[in-house]
Chain A
Amino acid sequence: MARIVTIIGITHNPFMPRLFGRPNRPPGCAKVIERIDLMREKLKQAQPDVLIAIGNDHLHQFFMDNMPPFLIGKMDAYDGTFYDEIREFGLPPCRLPGDVELSDQIMEGLFDQGVDLAYSNELTIDHSIVVPLMFVRPETDIPIVPILTNCIAPPLPRPKRFYEVGRAIRAVVDALPTNKRIGVLVSGHLSLEIGGPRQFEGRLMDPEFDAKAIGWIANGDAQGAVNNCSFNQLKKSGNMTHGFLNFLMMMGVANASRASHAEGVDAGFPAVPFFSWDAKEGASV
């Protein structure tokens, strides 16, 4: 039987890799880098054979001519990042190995669970998966199964659905006839604004929301999260706060258990989330 050996939830802030390389980086970065190191170590200790990488496309491969609510990649390898992300964020183009067999198994299993994913045999991955991998597995040597969500182009799937899809992924993985050690890497954010009047402010966007959100995850309070994350509720905390929805899927994968680590770091810019579920030796998380 497959085992989930770790679940890690982390920021995909695409400005960070370049920011961290600068000699005059803001003082708050030190704590963020320390937490990234901690998460990288957790992933290393868990020794996953494969990573289910959950993120959201930012109108790169996804567009409104053909917008899937949820999509799984089914490829042996994926190209990472796009021209505009190289220009704007200085992200490096990369090649990420895939596990097409596991992609297929998860997709078939999800159909049986009543979750109808879209799929892609030609998927390029944006910063929502590239940046987390740069942080926690810069070697990019572990094959991935990417699952991308739409939390950017409304109407969005409902918060309840993000959570349910996470639960379904967990049910499928738990029943897989494989000895693979499976890690789950999820990216998203807390309150955030991009492209609106409150973007690029040197402060937390909505500290009250951030504290509540950390609480839902720390306590495994799926109901609290589901009840407070509609499109209109989230947009009050910043026009791109909907990236938090990926973490509802993460809570589903964790079967709404309490997180081992749940924190939003205040580094002098919008909060930087760090979550993990650490497995005991020989057990699933």
Chain B
Amino acid sequence: MSKYLMNKFIHYVNMNEAAEKEYKTAPRAFVAKWEKGEKLKFTPEEREALCNRDYAKLYGLGAHPFTLWSWTEAVWAHEISREELVRDYKEKTAKIGYPDFKT
């Protein structure tokens, strides 16, 4: 069920402006606070990937690609150009292939 929770986190941050800002400012603290309010728990690997905004890792763990890209742009666009982000995202996900994102 943690794959579902990982997607829920990505979905929540992606769709809420305040959460997006708070997460971008202090990812680790925000992940810890958000998880405390949930019944389900992340695996250590998922938690670490979320704390690091590690889109390639999350892709490999089965994050939903549609929301993951939107989220990736939202949480990285202030630090890296879109062009560079698209290039890096494509390059890294190409090495992973097409993981199952069914929850």
Contacts and interface: CB of A to CB of B under 8 A. Distances in A.
A161 interface: no
Interface of A: 58-60, 63-65, 82-84, 87-88, 152-155, 194-200, 235, 239-240
Contacts, number: 66
Contacts of B11: 59, 63
Taking chain A's interface residues, is the majority helix, strand, or loop, or is none over half, making it mixed? loop
A88 B70 contact: yes
Nearest to A155: B102
Interface residues of B, number: 30
A82 B73 contact: no
Contacts of B96: 197
B15 A194 contact: no
A144 B15 CA distance: 25
The 5 residue pairs across chains A and B that have the minimum distance between CB atoms: A195-B65, A197-B94, A195-B69, A197-B93, A154-B102
Interface of B: 4, 7-8, 11, 14-17, 59, 64-70, 73-74, 86, 89-91, 93-94, 96-98, 101-103
A60 B101 CA distance: 17
Contacts of A196: 65, 93, 98
Nearest to A86: B17
A64 B4 CA distance: 7
B68 A195 contact: yes
7 contacts: A59-B11, A59-B66, A59-B67, A154-B102, A155-B102, A194-B65, A195-B69
A88 B74 contact: yes
Nearest to B103: A64
Contacts of B17: 83, 87
Contacts of A239: 65, 98
A84 B14 contact: yes
B38 to A, nearest CB: 11
B103 A60 contact: no
Given A63-B11, A64-B7, A64-B8, 10 more contacts: A84-B74, A87-B17, A87-B74, A88-B70, A154-B102, A194-B69, A196-B98, A197-B90, A197-B96, A200-B86
Given A63-B8, A83-B15, A87-B74, A153 B69 contact: no
B66 A58 contact: yes
Contact of B64 (A65, A195, A198, A235): A195
Contacts of A64: 4, 7-8, 103
Contact of B16 (A65, A83, A197): A83
Contacts of B90: 197-200
A195 B73 CA distance: 11
A64 B69 CA distance: 18
A240 B67 CA distance: 12
Given A60-B15, A64-B4, A200-B86, A152 B66 contact: yes
